[in-house]
Amino acid sequence: MITATKKWIFLKISGALLIPLMIWFILNLIKIYDQDYSNLIAFFTNPLPKFLFSIFIINAYFFSALSISEVFEDYIKNDKIKSVANKLLYASAVAIPSITIILITYL
């Protein structure tokens, strides 16, 4: 399978998965928005919200990294700059969700 086709399929799958996760996140954000700190901690110490939020963060960064890499492919002509930009993008798409999940795990 062609790389562009794989990216397209991954974009569609991650975008479709992102919709219910975003709805879940928005509904729960509305619930905990006006709550105090202890209720927020109670929400994130529950295993199911912790797991769903982790999947949401991973999927959101995966989707955004794939989308932004397509912009790099279209608008950056220099192959070296494009390669460095994509590597930095993918490194940040791994590092930021990892740090977030680690911090949530130790709440």
- The alpha carbon of 11 is separated from its chain's Cα centroid by a whole number of angstroms, namely 12
Q: Where are the domains of the chain?
A: 3-105
Q: Indicate the pLDDT class of residue 106, thresholds 50, 70 and 90.
A: confident
Q: Give just the sign of the alpha carbon dihedral 71, 79, 11, 9.
A: positive
pLDDT value, residue 104: 87
pLDDT value, residue 24: 96
Q: Which two tokens stand for residue 29?
A: 């954000």
pLDDT value, residue 54: 93
Task: Inform me whether the pLDDT recorded for 40 exceeds 90.
Answer: no
Q: Which two tokens stand for residue 41?
A: 């901690």
CATH of 3-105, one of 3.60.70.12, 1.10.630.10, 3.90.660.10, 1.20.1300.10: 1.20.1300.10
Angle between helices 79-105 and 47-75 (to 10 degrees): 170
Task: Inform me whether the pLDDT recorded for 53 exceeds 90.
Answer: yes
Task: Inform me whether the pLDDT recorded for 95 exceeds 90.
Answer: yes
